[in-house]
Amino acid sequence: MLSRLKHRHIQCFLEVARQRSISKAAAALSLTQPAVSKTLKELEEILDVPLMERGKRGIVLTEMGRVFLRHAGASVSALQQGLDSIAHVRMGARPSIRVGVLPTVASLLAPEAVQRYKRLVPGAIVSLVSGPNAYLLDRLRLGALDVVIGRLGPPDEMRGFSFIHLYSERVAFIVRRGHPLLRQETPFHLSAIAGFTVLIPDKEAVIRPVVENILVAHGIGDLPDRIETVSTSFGRSFTRSTDAVWIISRSVAEPDLSEGALAELPVDTRDTSGPVGLTTSAATETTGSIRLFMETVQQAAAEMLTKQLHP
CATH code for the domain in which residue 110 is found: 3.40.190.10
102 and 131 part of one domain: yes
128 and 210 part of one domain: no
188 and 237 part of one domain: yes
83 assigned to some structural domain: no
Q: Which residue has the higher pLDDT, 203 or 193?
A: 193
Q: What residue spans of the chain are helical by DSSP H?
A: 7-19, 22-29, 33-47, 63-91, 103-106, 109-120, 133-141, 208-217, 232-241, 250-259, 288-309
| DSSP-based helix, strand, coil % in the chain, nearest 5 | 50, 20, 30
pLDDT band at residue 261 using 50, 70 and 90 as cut-offs: very high
218 and 282 part of one domain: no
Q: What percent of the chain has pLDDT over 90?
A: 33
199 and 268 part of one domain: yes
Closest alpha carbon to 236 in 75, 72, 108, 91: 108
214 and 259 part of one domain: yes
Which of 65, 85, 105 corresponds to the end of one domain?
Answer: 65
What is the pLDDT, as a whole number, of residue 200?
95
87 assigned to some structural domain: no
130 and 256 part of one domain: no
> What is the pLDDT averaged over residues 109-133?
89
Q: Provide long-range contacts, Cβ within 8 A and 24+ apart, for 290-293.
A: 290/97, 290/146, 290/147, 292/117, 292/120, 292/121, 293/97, 293/99, 293/113, 293/117, 293/126, 293/147
Neighbours of 98 (CB within 10 A): 20
What is the pLDDT, as a whole number, of residue 241?
96
Asked whether residue 96 carries a pLDDT value surpassing 50, the answer given is yes
143 and 163 part of one domain: yes
> What is the pLDDT averaged over residues 247-265?
90
61 and 203 part of one domain: no
> What is the C-alpha to C-alpha distance for residues 26 and 81, in angstroms, rounded to an integer?
25
pLDDT band at residue 89 using 50, 70 and 90 as cut-offs: very low
Asked whether residue 7 carries a pLDDT value surpassing 90, the answer given is no
197 assigned to some structural domain: yes
Of 51-60, 86-95, 235-244, 276-285, the range with the highest mean pLDDT is 235-244
Asked whether residue 161 carries a pLDDT value surpassing 70, the answer given is yes
> What is the pLDDT averaged over residues 131-135?
86
> What is the C-alpha to C-alpha distance for residues 218 and 269, in angstroms, rounded to an integer?
11
What is the pLDDT, as a whole number, of residue 107?
73
15 and 59 part of one domain: yes
Q: How many domains does the chain have?
A: 3
| Average per-residue pLDDT for the chain | 86
> What is the C-alpha to C-alpha distance for residues 16 and 25, in angstroms, rounded to an integer?
5
Is there a contact between 140 and 94 (Cβ–Cβ < 8 Å)? no
76 assigned to some structural domain: no
Dihedral Cα 150, 247, 169, 97, nearest 10 deg: 20
> What is the pLDDT averaged over residues 294-300?
91
pLDDT tens per residue across span 215-236: 999 999 889 999 999 888 899 9
70 assigned to some structural domain: no
What residues make up the domain containing 150?
94-168+274-309
116 and 51 part of one domain: no
150 assigned to some structural domain: yes
pLDDT band at residue 59 using 50, 70 and 90 as cut-offs: confident
7 assigned to some structural domain: yes
What is the pLDDT, as a whole number, of residue 283?
75
What is the pLDDT, as a whole number, of residue 171?
93
Is there a contact between 227 and 197 (Cβ–Cβ < 8 Å)? yes
pLDDT band at residue 72 using 50, 70 and 90 as cut-offs: confident
pLDDT band at residue 211 using 50, 70 and 90 as cut-offs: very high
pLDDT band at residue 83 using 50, 70 and 90 as cut-offs: low
What is the pLDDT, as a whole number, of residue 88?
53
For the domain that residue 41 is a member of, what is the CATH number?
Answer: 1.10.10.10
Asked whether residue 309 carries a pLDDT value surpassing 90, the answer given is no
Q: Is the CA virtual torsion 244, 247, 251, 252 positive or negative?
A: negative
Asked whether residue 90 carries a pLDDT value surpassing 70, the answer given is no
pLDDT band at residue 93 using 50, 70 and 90 as cut-offs: low
212 assigned to some structural domain: yes
213 and 157 part of one domain: no
Q: What percent of the chain has pLDDT over 70?
A: 91
Asked whether residue 55 carries a pLDDT value surpassing 80, the answer given is no
What is the pLDDT, as a whole number, of residue 298?
92
Q: What residue spans of 130-231 are helical by DSSP H?
A: 133-141, 208-217
